[in-house]
Amino acid sequence: MGSGGFLPVVVMVALNVAAAVMVSLVKVAMDGGLDPLVLVTLQQLIASLFLGPIAFFRERKSRPKMTMEIFAYLFASAALGAALRQYMNFVALRYTTATFVTAFSNLAPVLTFLLAAVTRSETLNLRTGTGCAKLAGTLVSLAGAMVLTFYKGMPLTHTHLHHSASPAAAAAAAAAPSPLSAAEVNKRWTLGTVAILGNCVCLACWYLLHGRLAKKYPYVYSCNAFMSTFSFLQVAAIGLCAKRSLAAWLITSKFQILTVLYAGIVACGVSFVLLTWCIEKRGPVFVAAFIPVVQIIVSIIDFTILHESLYLGSVLGSVLVIGGLYLLLWGKRQEALQQHPKVSEHDREQQQQQVQLQP
């Protein structure tokens, strides 16, 4: 069955299950009062402690000396790809649902293509079938994002909870110390939507920035270890200014401690190592094809364990976003196969960056 046999498939399924579990754990921890800023700070600290030794022993002989240019790229990459992106992702989970967040996150590769086309780092030839496929996939995914944002629809599960003004109402009301008004629920939902949109924009910008960094500093373990360290320092500096009380940083709940450790070690550390292995074995397109699997698993957890309502708008929007994503990936893959091997290799490197920091 091609390079690597069935093992990469098993690993990718396991990685998606791990990512879905993290999203669900974070959602419950947020509802229990865990602050997003505290979570992302501790997550990046644990990830840097986990990845640092791996990068040191694996790449210590080949890694070049740090230059000011590489440092600037790493610092900016850490801010966009880890600190700001993760914070916005956690804020979105706090104010919306896990299913909505994972559905909207599928838009990131599409926004990346859009930004790349605008900045002319990605070609778009509408006179070819592959060019039309990439454009159609982008438009379909954007349409799905609009449906997710503006259309709620009827509840498909837990219909007895259908009394609020948005899909996040039941979760928001349950987590709040007192009942929320419809206006307050809508305000929280809007804030969560803006946050996850910001997450996608940050991730798209990071893809383009990291694509350039990968050419100057092609040492993936060291690169991600430095990113985790720099992002920890960035968020910690902001967090200590915003939350000067020591009590805000003390986590006493066993569940919240488990969530922080899981997010740092499993979601950022182990997952990155296994994801890199899968890319080496089967290529970036194979890995990218598994991106929507997280949403399916999260949706199952969401309404079977967390008892969230699943709405028609979320289903329709998700189908459009995922369909557009696969159409875009197909167009990019076919275009890479038709081009010169040198160009195809460049496309491979660019796509590799687009699957390394999925939520």
Mean pLDDT, the chain, whole residue set:
82
Q: For the CA atoms of 92, 98, 103, 108, what is the dihedral angle to 10 degrees?
A: 40
**50's tokens:** 């986990």
Helices (H) and strands (E) in the chain, counts: 16, 0
Check: CB of residue 91 under 8 Å from CB of residue 191: yes
**Bridge partners, residue 311, by sequence:** 155
Check: CB of residue 29 under 8 Å from CB of residue 92: no
* Spatial distance between the Cα atoms of 45 and 225, rounded to a whole number of angstroms: 10
Q: pLDDT for 17-51, tens place per residue?
A: 999 999 999 999 988 889 999 999 999 999 999 99
The mean pLDDT of 253-265, rounded to a whole number, is: 93
- Better-scored residue on pLDDT, 193 or 2: 193
Checking if the pLDDT of 345 tops 80, the result is: no
Checking if the pLDDT of 166 tops 60, the result is: no
Confidence band, pLDDT 50/70/90 cuts, at residue 1? very low
User: Angle at the Cα of 262 (from 258 to 177), degrees rounded to 5?
Assistant: 50
Q: pLDDT for 286-343, tens place per residue?
A: 777 787 888 888 888 877 887 777 778 888 888 998 898 889 888 888 887 777 554 4
* Spatial distance between the Cα atoms of 100 and 207, rounded to a whole number of angstroms: 22
For the chain, what percent of residues have pLDDT higher than 70? 86
Nearest to 69 by CA among 201, 208, 215, 231: 215
Checking if the pLDDT of 279 tops 60, the result is: yes
140 to 137, 228, 324: CA distances (angstroms): 5, 34, 5
Predicted TM-score (pTM) above 0.85: no
- CB atoms under 10 Å from CB of 21, counted, come to 17
Confidence band, pLDDT 50/70/90 cuts, at residue 131? confident
* Spatial distance between the Cα atoms of 93 and 141, rounded to a whole number of angstroms: 21
The mean pLDDT of 214-219, rounded to a whole number, is: 86
User: Angle at the Cα of 205 (from 204 to 210), degrees rounded to 5?
Assistant: 100
* pLDDT for position 172: 44
